[in-house]
């Protein structure tokens, strides 16, 4: 099982070009330095609610291509970033904009995920070109 995760690390997943797996090593580059806002799913292999959220999260990654990047980080394999951000439960989603965490969703309901993302984006990001 562990080999499976390491093999996928840092690669585009499931044919989705807007969903990346990130690690402690590339988190700053992939998330904090992104020119687009990034939502990160802090997840774990053993977490049933994470598995319930995953297909919805993956589908939404295609919906927001070009507007919002989607990333996934396994907290068991990447404890440094998770600890730095105070992740205490999974799934936790954090929206980053301009390198800073601006919204946090702990245990989001899969059926309301799009609404939660829309709300977080509306409150915490500006359209491209506005300062």
Q: Which residues are catalytic?
A: 47, 50
Q: Answer yes or no: are the C-beta atoms of 93 and 107 closer than 8 Å.
A: no
Report how far residue 91's alpha carbon sits from residue 55's, in angstroms, rounded to the nearest whole number: 13
Report how far residue 2's alpha carbon sits from residue 45's, in angstroms, rounded to the nearest whole number: 9
Q: Answer yes or no: are the C-beta atoms of 16 and 61 closer than 8 Å.
A: yes
Task: Find the distance separating the first CA and the last CA of the chain, reported in whole Å.
Answer: 45
CA geometry: angle 83, 70, 75, nearest 5 deg: 25
């Amino acid at each position: 099982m562990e080999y499976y995760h390491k093999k996928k690390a840092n690669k585009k997943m499931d044919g989705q070009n807007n969903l990346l797996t990130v690690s402690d090593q590339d988190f700053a580059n992939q998330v904090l330095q992104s020119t687009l806002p990034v939502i990160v799913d802090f997840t774990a292999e053993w977490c049933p609610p994470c598995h319930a959220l995953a297909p919805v999260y993956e589908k939404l990654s295609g919906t927001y291509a070009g507007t919002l990047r989607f990333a996934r980080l396994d907290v068991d394999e990447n404890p440094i970033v998770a600890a730095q951000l105070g992740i205490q439960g999974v799934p936790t989603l954090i929206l980053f904009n301009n390198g800073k965490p601006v919204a946090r969703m702990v245990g989001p309901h899969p059926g309301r995920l799009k609404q939660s993302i829309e709300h977080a984006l509306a409150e915490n990001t500006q359209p491209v070109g506005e300062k």
